Amino acid sequence: MEYTAGVTKAEFKPKTEYKVKAETRKFIKPSYIITALGIGFCAAFTIYGMQKGLFTSQEAMEQFLKPFGIWGPLIFILIQIVQVVIPIIPGGVSCLGGVLLFGPLWGFVYNYLGICIGSACAFQISRRLGMKAVEKAADGQKYGKYLKWMENGTFDKWFALAIFFPAAPDDLLCFLAGVTSMSFRKFLLIILLGKPLSIAAYSLGLQLLFTQVLQLIR
């Protein structure tokens, strides 16, 4: 078994259908509000971009970004870091945004930097806070099968494979990695080598889909 970060076996209760027990609340969770606002902002920017031709003209996009200077990429990287730890907007949407704003090459670079730094932050947070951080990150998601990886001592192997593919819940897995015996060096190596494929798949795949949809509605 792999238990670290002050997590004892008694505190660690893996179940096949383990699900975080959230308290009953009358109001919508703040995380839902933040996510809704983030998605709303993306939708508004998409409409604005279509009206201004930002997604079909490289010159128009360059003129839009010019006033921001170096702050444009830095702000975007910061947004990517934050969205790994606190899901403001879906990761796929932010990856698409990077490519649309900065082009395929630099969009990929900024996505990669932000997501890798954010993943490292998630690991360090759960390493210090333990399962409380994982429960907050899960926010109601079931993750029993990932806890089984810990029980069976196979978490490192499956984690590495999951990071290579875009379908896995990477952010949650990074938090989970922090409560295992995996070293930070090993974690960072997996992230640095595994993220390019999933980021490229998200970025370029969603860009192609977005372009097709844009052509249909023009």
| Interval 127-175: pLDDT, tens | 999 888 888 877 666 777 788 888 888 899 999 998 988 666 788 899 9
Distances (CA, A) of 158 to 38, 78, 165: 31, 28, 11
- Supply the pTM of this predicted model: 0.71
The pLDDT score that the predictor gives to residue 89 is: 67
Residues 156, 127: Cα–Cα separation, whole Å: 15
Phi and psi dihedrals of 12, rounded to 5?
-90, 110
The pLDDT score that the predictor gives to residue 24 is: 37
Q: Are 144 and 111 in contact (CB under 8 A)?
A: no
**Angle between helix 144-152 and helix 155-164 axes, rounded to 10 deg:** 130
Which regions of the chain are under pLDDT 50? 1-2, 9-10, 14-28
